[in-house]
Structure 1
């Protein structure tokens, strides 16, 4: 049986996909460990991440941003609200809608997660030439877009625009 390491040095699509699977596995473990330390699940952490990057929004907008049903968002929010990460407040102009925003505790938790991500990024990519990193970033953006079935994000100075996590 061949392992992914048997093809070391070969730049083929199947070897690249094998490396991507290996990377996903390692990153998944690291992410799970990081969010577990804060008593979060991946889905709850993703919701907090969206609020950090996009600010307060309605539950419907959150469901759309996360690609889940409103019922699913309600379950996530119930748990996050119980743990003090988010709060629901009346919409300022639409009395039928409810806004969701991070609490100070929620902001601190997700900021800590982001800082851990930033430290990891600095350590992983510190000695990689900028041109290699730009190519890697563009390739990952293209592969991710293909997996999602969407066109690649527009680029700015050769770097793909950030997208909401899926």
Structure 2
């Protein structure tokens, strides 16, 4: 295997592990204190993908359906999500983000963006940022080809 690819994968893993840890430790926004990381991730998934079945959420978070059930119950109690009938099959139920849930996602995102902007301010120039965005769009498109929705997900 190409040594550069091995190095790229190892660097990606390091960024994911250490980046996530650093963000979790240093983002002090109220929304990050009020909701768990897993709950915020559910909200973010719904924000990006629209209403989804609970089973799909479990798959995307790599957890058992019972773990999602607990998260969804808490999020529903807090009026961040609601259960709606599927437009395709009235017997199926989907989890939908509420307006309040959307506001929470936006607050969470803003807190992360503010932290990353401060962290990167004197470290990453515009050209490097553009290269980063271009490369991650390409990686996202490649990885999404393996996902459940092919056509809509391959847009860059």
TM-score, normalization: structure 2?
Answer: 0.67
CA contact (8 A) 2:23 2:112 kept: no
Q: CA deviation at 1:126?
A: 3.2
Structure 1's 94 and 133: CA in aligned 2 closer, same or farther, altered over 3 A?
same
Structure 1's 134 and 98: CA in aligned 2 closer, same or farther, altered over 3 A?
same
**Structure 2 counterpart SS, 1:100:** strand
Q: Which one has a bigger Cα radius of gyration?
A: 1
Of structures 1 and 2, the one with the larger relative CO (CA 8 A, separation 6+) is 2
The answer to whether 1:124 aligns with 2:119 is yes
Runs of 4+ off more than 3 Å: 19-25, 33-37, 130-139
TM-score, normalization: structure 1?
Answer: 0.63
What runs of 5+ residues in structure 1 fail to find an aligned partner? 1-15, 142-153
The count of residues paired between Structure 1 and Structure 2 equals 131
Partner of 1:89: 84
Partner of 2:147: none
Residues of 2 paired with 1:36 and 1:115: CA distance?
A: 11
Alpha-carbon RMSD across the aligned residues, in angstroms, is: 3.2
Structure 1's 134 and 47: CA in aligned 2 closer, same or farther, altered over 3 A?
same
